[in-house]
Structure 1
Protein backbone atom coordinates (compact mmCIF):
# COMPACT_ATOMS: atom_id res chain seq x y z
CA UNK A 1 0.00 0.00 0.00
CA UNK A 2 1.43 3.46 -0.85
CA UNK A 3 2.76 5.44 2.09
CA UNK A 4 0.45 8.36 1.26
CA UNK A 5 -2.76 6.45 2.00
CA UNK A 6 -4.29 5.23 5.24
CA UNK A 7 -2.35 2.23 6.52
CA UNK A 8 -3.96 -1.14 7.22
CA UNK A 9 -2.93 -0.94 10.89
CA UNK A 10 -4.78 2.36 11.35
CA UNK A 11 -7.96 0.90 9.86
CA UNK A 12 -8.18 -1.20 13.02
CA UNK A 13 -8.78 2.02 14.97
CA UNK A 14 -12.07 3.00 13.27
CA UNK A 15 -14.18 5.23 15.54
CA UNK A 16 -17.76 6.39 15.56
CA UNK A 17 -17.80 10.21 15.56
CA UNK A 18 -19.72 12.34 18.07
CA UNK A 19 -21.02 14.56 15.22
CA UNK A 20 -20.85 14.29 11.45
CA UNK A 21 -22.27 16.43 8.64
CA UNK A 22 -21.63 18.83 5.81
CA UNK A 23 -22.12 22.01 7.88
CA UNK A 24 -22.08 21.87 11.68
CA UNK A 25 -22.53 24.59 14.28
CA UNK A 26 -19.40 24.70 16.43
CA UNK A 27 -19.85 23.66 20.08
CA UNK A 28 -18.37 26.45 22.22
CA UNK A 29 -18.69 24.53 25.51
CA UNK A 30 -15.60 23.72 27.53
CA UNK A 31 -12.53 25.10 25.77
CA UNK A 32 -9.43 23.23 26.93
CA UNK A 33 -7.50 26.44 27.50
CA UNK A 34 -7.76 30.21 27.58
CA UNK A 35 -5.18 32.95 27.50
CA UNK A 36 -4.51 36.63 27.09
CA UNK A 37 -2.66 36.05 23.78
CA UNK A 38 -2.58 33.29 21.15
CA UNK A 39 1.07 32.70 22.08
CA UNK A 40 -0.08 31.88 25.64
CA UNK A 41 -1.82 28.86 24.07
CA UNK A 42 1.12 27.69 21.94
CA UNK A 43 0.09 29.51 18.76
CA UNK A 44 1.36 32.61 17.05
CA UNK A 45 2.84 33.98 13.87
CA UNK A 46 4.88 30.85 13.10
CA UNK A 47 1.70 28.75 12.96
CA UNK A 48 -0.87 28.63 10.12
CA UNK A 49 -3.53 31.22 10.84
CA UNK A 50 -5.45 34.38 10.22
CA UNK A 51 -4.17 36.93 12.78
CA UNK A 52 -6.88 38.30 15.05
CA UNK A 53 -9.17 35.37 14.17
CA UNK A 54 -7.52 31.95 14.54
CA UNK A 55 -4.40 29.79 14.50
CA UNK A 56 -3.99 26.07 13.94
CA UNK A 57 -1.74 24.84 16.73
CA UNK A 58 0.46 22.51 14.71
CA UNK A 59 3.41 20.66 16.20
CA UNK A 60 5.64 22.06 13.47
CA UNK A 61 6.64 25.65 12.90
CA UNK A 62 6.66 27.59 9.68
CA UNK A 63 6.46 25.44 6.57
CA UNK A 64 7.94 22.27 8.13
CA UNK A 65 5.44 19.39 8.01
CA UNK A 66 3.72 17.76 10.95
CA UNK A 67 4.35 14.04 11.14
CA UNK A 68 1.84 11.82 9.32
CA UNK A 69 1.03 9.06 11.78
CA UNK A 70 -1.27 6.18 12.52
CA UNK A 71 -4.20 7.91 14.19
CA UNK A 72 -7.82 6.87 14.55
CA UNK A 73 -9.88 6.63 11.38
CA UNK A 74 -13.46 7.23 10.31
CA UNK A 75 -15.01 6.94 6.87
CA UNK A 76 -11.61 6.02 5.39
CA UNK A 77 -10.01 9.22 6.70
CA UNK A 78 -7.15 9.39 9.20
CA UNK A 79 -7.27 11.87 12.07
CA UNK A 80 -4.41 14.35 12.52
CA UNK A 81 -4.66 16.14 15.87
CA UNK A 82 -4.11 19.91 15.93
CA UNK A 83 -5.59 22.44 18.33
CA UNK A 84 -7.76 25.32 17.15
CA UNK A 85 -6.83 28.61 18.85
CA UNK A 86 -9.43 31.29 18.24
CA UNK A 87 -10.02 34.90 19.19
CA UNK A 88 -12.76 34.94 21.83
CA UNK A 89 -16.02 36.53 20.69
CA UNK A 90 -15.14 36.40 16.97
CA UNK A 91 -17.67 34.78 14.65
CA UNK A 92 -16.30 33.04 11.55
CA UNK A 93 -16.68 29.93 9.41
CA UNK A 94 -14.02 27.31 8.77
CA UNK A 95 -14.42 25.22 5.64
CA UNK A 96 -12.66 22.69 3.50
CA UNK A 97 -12.37 24.03 -0.07
CA UNK A 98 -14.91 22.41 -2.40
CA UNK A 99 -12.26 20.62 -4.46
CA UNK A 100 -10.86 18.88 -1.32
CA UNK A 101 -14.19 17.65 0.10
CA UNK A 102 -14.40 13.88 0.29
CA UNK A 103 -10.62 13.64 0.87
CA UNK A 104 -10.47 16.11 3.76
CA UNK A 105 -12.78 16.83 6.71
CA UNK A 106 -12.31 19.03 9.78
CA UNK A 107 -13.47 18.70 13.34
CA UNK A 108 -12.85 20.56 16.58
CA UNK A 109 -14.94 19.89 19.67
CA UNK A 110 -14.53 19.08 23.33
CA UNK A 111 -17.48 16.66 23.13
CA UNK A 112 -15.84 14.00 20.94
CA UNK A 113 -14.64 13.39 17.39
CA UNK A 114 -16.38 15.58 14.81
CA UNK A 115 -16.24 15.31 10.99
CA UNK A 116 -17.49 18.17 8.83
CA UNK A 117 -16.83 20.07 5.62
CA UNK A 118 -17.68 23.32 7.37
CA UNK A 119 -17.85 24.55 10.97
CA UNK A 120 -19.81 27.71 11.81
CA UNK A 121 -18.25 29.39 14.87
CA UNK A 122 -20.73 31.77 16.55
CA UNK A 123 -18.17 33.79 18.53
CA UNK A 124 -17.21 31.58 21.48
CA UNK A 125 -16.25 33.10 24.82
CA UNK A 126 -14.76 31.85 28.07
CA UNK A 127 -15.82 32.39 31.66
CA UNK A 128 -12.14 32.89 32.55
CA UNK A 129 -11.07 36.52 33.11
CA UNK A 130 -8.74 37.95 30.44
CA UNK A 131 -9.54 35.10 28.04
CA UNK A 132 -8.93 36.92 24.77
CA UNK A 133 -8.00 33.62 23.06
CA UNK A 134 -9.40 30.11 23.61
CA UNK A 135 -8.35 26.69 22.36
CA UNK A 136 -10.26 23.52 21.44
CA UNK A 137 -9.07 19.99 20.64
CA UNK A 138 -9.56 18.42 17.24
CA UNK A 139 -7.93 18.52 13.86
CA UNK A 140 -8.06 17.31 10.30
CA UNK A 141 -9.37 14.05 8.79
CA UNK A 142 -7.36 13.13 5.67
CA UNK A 143 -7.01 10.51 2.94
CA UNK A 144 -3.36 11.40 2.42
CA UNK A 145 -0.67 13.79 3.67
CA UNK A 146 -0.04 17.16 2.05
CA UNK A 147 -0.38 20.91 2.39
CA UNK A 148 -3.95 20.96 3.71
CA UNK A 149 -6.00 24.08 2.85
CA UNK A 150 -8.60 25.55 5.18
CA UNK A 151 -10.77 28.58 4.42
CA UNK A 152 -11.51 31.04 7.23
CA UNK A 153 -14.40 33.38 6.43
CA UNK A 154 -15.44 36.42 8.47
CA UNK A 155 -17.94 39.15 7.57
CA UNK A 156 -15.20 41.01 5.73
CA UNK A 157 -13.04 38.39 4.01
CA UNK A 158 -12.17 34.78 3.18
CA UNK A 159 -8.57 33.68 3.65
CA UNK A 160 -7.02 30.30 2.91
CA UNK A 161 -4.39 28.93 5.27
CA UNK A 162 -2.33 25.78 4.74
CA UNK A 163 -1.25 23.23 7.34
CA UNK A 164 1.67 20.99 6.32
CA UNK A 165 0.76 17.43 7.32
CA UNK A 166 3.27 14.75 6.35
CA UNK A 167 4.51 16.92 3.46
CA UNK A 168 5.41 20.56 3.01
CA UNK A 169 2.88 22.78 1.28
CA UNK A 170 3.96 23.76 -2.21
Structure 2
Protein backbone atom coordinates (compact mmCIF):
# COMPACT_ATOMS: atom_id res chain seq x y z
CA UNK A 1 0.00 0.00 0.00
CA UNK A 2 1.41 3.39 -0.93
CA UNK A 3 1.71 6.31 1.50
CA UNK A 4 -1.11 8.15 -0.30
CA UNK A 5 -3.38 5.08 0.08
CA UNK A 6 -2.66 4.93 3.80
CA UNK A 7 -3.35 8.65 4.11
CA UNK A 8 -6.79 8.24 2.52
CA UNK A 9 -7.87 5.21 4.61
CA UNK A 10 -10.90 6.06 6.75
CA UNK A 11 -12.72 4.44 9.64
CA UNK A 12 -16.34 4.18 8.53
CA UNK A 13 -19.30 5.37 10.59
CA UNK A 14 -21.01 2.06 9.78
CA UNK A 15 -19.76 -1.08 8.01
CA UNK A 16 -21.86 -4.20 7.63
CA UNK A 17 -24.54 -6.04 5.74
CA UNK A 18 -27.80 -4.11 6.18
CA UNK A 19 -28.67 -0.75 7.71
CA UNK A 20 -31.75 1.37 8.23
CA UNK A 21 -31.21 4.60 6.27
CA UNK A 22 -30.85 7.77 8.37
CA UNK A 23 -33.34 10.30 6.99
CA UNK A 24 -32.17 13.27 9.08
CA UNK A 25 -30.59 16.29 7.45
CA UNK A 26 -30.80 15.96 3.67
CA UNK A 27 -28.22 18.17 1.98
CA UNK A 28 -30.84 19.50 -0.44
CA UNK A 29 -34.56 19.58 -1.11
CA UNK A 30 -36.54 20.32 -4.24
CA UNK A 31 -40.01 20.39 -5.68
CA UNK A 32 -38.82 18.10 -8.51
CA UNK A 33 -35.92 15.69 -8.94
CA UNK A 34 -34.62 17.94 -11.72
CA UNK A 35 -34.36 20.78 -9.17
CA UNK A 36 -31.64 18.65 -7.55
CA UNK A 37 -29.75 17.86 -10.77
CA UNK A 38 -31.44 14.50 -11.37
CA UNK A 39 -32.52 14.58 -15.01
CA UNK A 40 -33.83 11.80 -17.24
CA UNK A 41 -30.25 11.05 -18.39
CA UNK A 42 -29.19 9.95 -14.89
CA UNK A 43 -29.48 6.35 -13.63
CA UNK A 44 -32.91 6.26 -11.99
CA UNK A 45 -36.17 4.58 -11.14
CA UNK A 46 -38.83 7.20 -12.00
CA UNK A 47 -40.82 8.50 -9.03
CA UNK A 48 -38.50 6.67 -6.61
CA UNK A 49 -34.85 7.74 -6.93
CA UNK A 50 -32.04 9.00 -9.08
CA UNK A 51 -28.29 8.57 -8.66
CA UNK A 52 -26.76 12.00 -9.16
CA UNK A 53 -23.75 10.99 -11.23
CA UNK A 54 -21.21 13.43 -12.63
CA UNK A 55 -21.73 12.07 -16.15
CA UNK A 56 -24.78 11.82 -18.34
CA UNK A 57 -26.07 8.97 -20.46
CA UNK A 58 -23.77 5.99 -20.77
CA UNK A 59 -20.53 7.98 -20.43
CA UNK A 60 -18.55 6.73 -17.44
CA UNK A 61 -18.05 8.69 -14.27
CA UNK A 62 -14.39 9.28 -13.61
CA UNK A 63 -12.69 6.67 -11.45
CA UNK A 64 -11.16 8.86 -8.78
CA UNK A 65 -8.56 8.29 -6.11
CA UNK A 66 -10.80 9.14 -3.18
CA UNK A 67 -10.87 7.79 0.35
CA UNK A 68 -10.54 4.08 0.93
CA UNK A 69 -11.68 1.55 3.52
CA UNK A 70 -10.56 -2.08 3.68
CA UNK A 71 -9.63 -2.18 -0.02
CA UNK A 72 -12.77 -0.37 -1.23
CA UNK A 73 -12.44 3.01 -2.95
CA UNK A 74 -15.19 5.60 -2.50
CA UNK A 75 -16.93 7.05 -5.56
CA UNK A 76 -19.10 10.03 -4.54
CA UNK A 77 -22.61 10.25 -6.03
CA UNK A 78 -25.65 11.87 -4.46
CA UNK A 79 -28.86 9.94 -3.80
CA UNK A 80 -31.96 11.88 -4.87
CA UNK A 81 -35.17 10.31 -3.55
CA UNK A 82 -38.90 10.97 -3.68
CA UNK A 83 -40.02 12.10 -0.22
CA UNK A 84 -42.23 9.60 1.57
CA UNK A 85 -41.30 6.68 -0.70
CA UNK A 86 -40.16 3.46 0.98
CA UNK A 87 -37.62 1.30 -0.87
CA UNK A 88 -34.49 -0.77 -0.44
CA UNK A 89 -31.13 -0.43 -2.18
CA UNK A 90 -29.07 -3.61 -2.55
CA UNK A 91 -25.75 -4.70 -3.92
CA UNK A 92 -26.54 -7.72 -6.15
CA UNK A 93 -25.31 -11.05 -4.78
CA UNK A 94 -22.72 -11.45 -7.55
CA UNK A 95 -21.12 -8.09 -6.60
CA UNK A 96 -20.91 -8.62 -2.82
CA UNK A 97 -17.33 -8.50 -1.66
CA UNK A 98 -16.41 -6.23 -4.59
CA UNK A 99 -18.94 -3.43 -4.04
CA UNK A 100 -20.63 -1.69 -1.12
CA UNK A 101 -23.04 1.26 -1.03
CA UNK A 102 -23.46 4.04 1.47
CA UNK A 103 -25.42 7.26 1.81
CA UNK A 104 -25.56 9.04 5.15
CA UNK A 105 -25.16 12.41 6.76
CA UNK A 106 -23.50 10.81 9.80
CA UNK A 107 -20.28 9.72 8.13
CA UNK A 108 -19.01 7.10 5.72
CA UNK A 109 -21.29 4.05 5.53
CA UNK A 110 -20.42 0.77 3.80
CA UNK A 111 -23.35 -1.63 3.36
CA UNK A 112 -24.75 -4.36 1.15
CA UNK A 113 -28.31 -3.13 1.77
CA UNK A 114 -29.91 0.14 2.83
CA UNK A 115 -33.58 0.17 3.88
CA UNK A 116 -35.28 3.54 3.34
CA UNK A 117 -38.55 3.80 5.30
CA UNK A 118 -39.82 6.87 3.44
CA UNK A 119 -37.88 10.01 4.34
CA UNK A 120 -39.69 13.32 4.66
CA UNK A 121 -38.84 16.93 5.47
CA UNK A 122 -40.85 19.59 7.27
CA UNK A 123 -39.59 22.23 4.82
CA UNK A 124 -41.93 23.56 2.14
CA UNK A 125 -41.58 22.11 -1.39
CA UNK A 126 -39.55 19.14 -0.12
CA UNK A 127 -41.01 16.65 -2.60
CA UNK A 128 -37.51 15.35 -3.39
CA UNK A 129 -34.52 15.01 -1.04
CA UNK A 130 -30.81 14.53 -1.71
CA UNK A 131 -28.25 12.82 0.54
CA UNK A 132 -24.45 12.52 0.31
CA UNK A 133 -22.69 9.24 -0.26
CA UNK A 134 -21.99 6.87 -3.08
CA UNK A 135 -20.40 3.60 -4.06
CA UNK A 136 -17.46 1.69 -2.57
CA UNK A 137 -15.69 -0.41 -5.21
CA UNK A 138 -12.67 -2.69 -5.50
CA UNK A 139 -12.30 -1.72 -9.20
CA UNK A 140 -14.02 0.42 -11.83
CA UNK A 141 -16.96 -1.01 -13.76
CA UNK A 142 -20.55 -0.77 -14.89
CA UNK A 143 -22.01 -1.46 -11.47
CA UNK A 144 -25.56 -2.72 -10.87
CA UNK A 145 -27.75 -1.44 -8.06
CA UNK A 146 -30.99 -3.19 -7.11
CA UNK A 147 -33.92 -0.94 -6.18
CA UNK A 148 -36.86 -2.69 -4.51
CA UNK A 149 -40.24 -1.16 -3.66
CA UNK A 150 -43.49 -2.84 -2.60
CA UNK A 151 -44.43 -3.04 -6.29
CA UNK A 152 -41.18 -3.60 -8.21
CA UNK A 153 -37.62 -4.84 -8.18
CA UNK A 154 -35.40 -3.07 -10.74
CA UNK A 155 -31.69 -2.99 -11.43
CA UNK A 156 -30.06 0.20 -12.63
CA UNK A 157 -26.48 0.36 -13.91
CA UNK A 158 -24.01 3.09 -13.05
CA UNK A 159 -20.89 3.56 -15.19
CA UNK A 160 -17.94 4.17 -12.86
CA UNK A 161 -14.65 4.29 -14.73
CA UNK A 162 -16.10 2.10 -17.51
CA UNK A 163 -19.04 2.50 -19.86
CA UNK A 164 -22.20 0.44 -19.54
CA UNK A 165 -23.29 -1.59 -22.57
| In 2: Cα distance, 1:27 partner to 1:78 partner | 22
C-alpha deviation, 1:75, in angstroms: 1.2
The alignment of Structure 1 onto Structure 2 pairs a total of residues equal to 165
* 3-state SS, counterpart of residue 144 of structure 2: strand
C-alpha deviation, 1:80, in angstroms: 0.2
Residue 18 of structure 1 is matched in structure 2 by 13
Task: Indicate whether 1:147 and 2:142 are aligned.
Answer: yes
Give unpaired runs (5+ residues) of structure 2.
none
* 3-state SS, counterpart of residue 102 of structure 1: coil
Residue 3 of structure 1 is matched in structure 2 by none
TM-score by length of structure 2 reads 0.97
Residue of structure 1 aligned with 2:73, choices 74, 78, 100: 78
| In 2: Cα distance, 1:97 partner to 1:84 partner | 18
TM-score by length of structure 1 reads 0.94
Residue 137 of structure 1 is matched in structure 2 by 132
| Root-mean-square deviation over aligned CA pairs | 1.3
In the TM superposition, 1:1-170 aligns within 5 A as 9-170=4-165
Deviations, residues 61-97 of structure 1 (Å, cap 9, x unaligned) = 0100000010000010000000000000000000000
* 3-state SS, counterpart of residue 12 of structure 1: helix
